[in-house]
Amino acid sequence: MAKSIDAFRTIGEVSETLSVPKHVLRFWENRFPQLKPMKRGGGRRYYRPEDVELLVGIHALLHGAGYTIKGVQRILREDGVETVKAAGRGDVPKPAAAVGKVMGAPRASGLAKAKNPVALTPELRAHLLGVVKELEACLALAKSPIELAHQTAEKADDAPVSVARKVATKKKRA
């Protein structure tokens, strides 16, 4: 039998609902003072429906929209609990608190295209292209020897497995 919508939830039930470990929920209780589950004998936590709704909103902002913990704290402080709860219902906020402030802004994974792109001068463009080339060179240096062996074998039209074995054999001897 399913629980009523108004029923209190244990930490295990909320953890399962959000697909978040129990220790993360306890951590969020420390970071977000607005979360105050009831505690019964032995320290057992019971989350009210309002607490669950707030947790869903926090989860949506942190994991869905890419906000940082400090960003969500700022939203709670400046825009209120209802804004975070709305995020849990799919209405991801664009609060005044987060716009233009590094701490409140979503991480790069959650950002859309810039509204005011910077015009690139030819000098800046050339500089940025040089930086990209340097980063690509660093990435090439960071590749594993087996990946490099596969690339070498493909270029030499050699069997990749045999070159990879040669590299592995050399490593074992060393």
Categorize the per-residue pLDDT at 104 as very low, low, confident or very high, splitting at 50, 70 and 90: very low
Q: What is the pLDDT of residue 111?
A: 41
131: its two tokens: 């930086």
Which comes out higher in pLDDT, residue 123 or 116? 123
Ordered DSSP codes for the chain = -PPPTTS-EEHHHHHHHHT--HHHHHHHHHH-TT---EE-GGG-EEE-HHHHHHHHHHHIIIIIS---HHHHHHHHHHH-HHHHHHHHTT-----TTTTT-TTTSPPGGG----SSPPPPPHHHHHHHHHHHHHHHHHHHHHS-HHHHHHHHHHHHT--HHHHHHHHHHHHHH-
CATH 3.60.20.10 assigned to 9-110: no
% of the chain surpassing 90 pLDDT = 33
What pLDDT is recorded for position 89? 86
In this model, does residue 54 exceed pLDDT 60? Answer: yes
19 or 126, which is more confident?
19
- Residue extent(s) of CATH 1.10.1660.10 domains in the chain: 9-110
